[in-house]
Structures are given as C-alpha cells and as structure tokens.
C-alpha cells in the first residue's frame, strides 16, 4: 500500500498532465507565492483566518509530511527520512490526519 498525492488528485480530477507540466516548470517559491496570491485577495492577507506569516511553517510542514509519506516505502521510513521518531509522526497524525488523507485513495485502489 503506497501513498500518492498525485494519484489522489488525479482520481478526483483536480489535476491532469497539462497542469503537471506547467507546475513542474515553476519553482517551489513561485508555486507558494502564486497559491497565496490566488488565495488571499478576498480575505485581506489572512489565510484561513490566521496571519499568513505565522501559519506558513505549519502549511509547509503539512505539505512536507504528505510528500514524505508518498515517497517512502513505509510510515517508519517516512519518520526516519524526516529525522523524527515514529511515535512523533503518529502523534502528529492524531491531530492532522495525515494517514487518513490517503485512506480514500487506497480503498479505491483496492477496488481496481
């Protein structure tokens, strides 16, 4: 059972080859800046009701953990890659539901 953000978003038809090609030509900094630019005009600089500067670390960590789970062969390997104890990864999952993010994808993969 492997995790993949890409596969999950493709199954939900939120991304396609064209989007992936365009995205791959942008730097990570450009992607983050563009996403923030597109997300914040209506909320006057607030991201999800919180000051963007103070939430950016949490947003980046969330993305990092999802990415590491998708490229690692196991949850323990993901924790090792991040340089954290497996117990901490499980604790982070309790509040952020990282593993559950991929559950729907894995259930539909089993049906194929």
Residue ranges covered by each domain of the chain: 5-111
Question: Residue 93's pLDDT is what?
Answer: 94
Q: How many CB atoms lie within 10 A of CB 45?
A: 10
pTM of the model: 0.73
Residues 78-101 as b/e (b if ≥16 CB within 10 A, e otherwise) read: bbeebeeeeeebeebbeeeebeeb
Burial grade of 5 (CB within 10 A; 0-12, 13-18, 19 or more): middle
| DSSP SS3 for 50 | strand
Name the residue with higher pLDDT: 4 or 45. Answer: 4
pLDDT digits (tens, 9 = 90+) for 58-87: 888 999 999 999 999 999 999 999 999 999
Give the single-character DSSP code of 42.
Answer: G
Tokens of 86: 């497996």
Q: Is the pLDDT of residue 29 over 60?
A: yes
């Amino acid at each position: 059972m492997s995790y993949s953000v890409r596969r999950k978003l493709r199954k939900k038809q939120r991304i396609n080859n064209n989007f992936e090609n365009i995205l791959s030509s942008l730097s990570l900094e450009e992607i983050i800046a563009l996403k923030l630019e597109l997300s914040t005009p209506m909320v006057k600089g607030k991201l999800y009701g919180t000051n963007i500067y103070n939430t950016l670390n949490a947003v980046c960590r969330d993305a990092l953990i999802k990415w590491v789970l998708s490229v690692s062969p196991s949850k323990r390997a993901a924790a090792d890659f991040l340089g954290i104890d497996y117990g901490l990864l499980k604790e982070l999952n309790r509040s952020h539901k990282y593993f559950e993010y991929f559950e729907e994808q894995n259930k539909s993969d089993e049906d194929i």
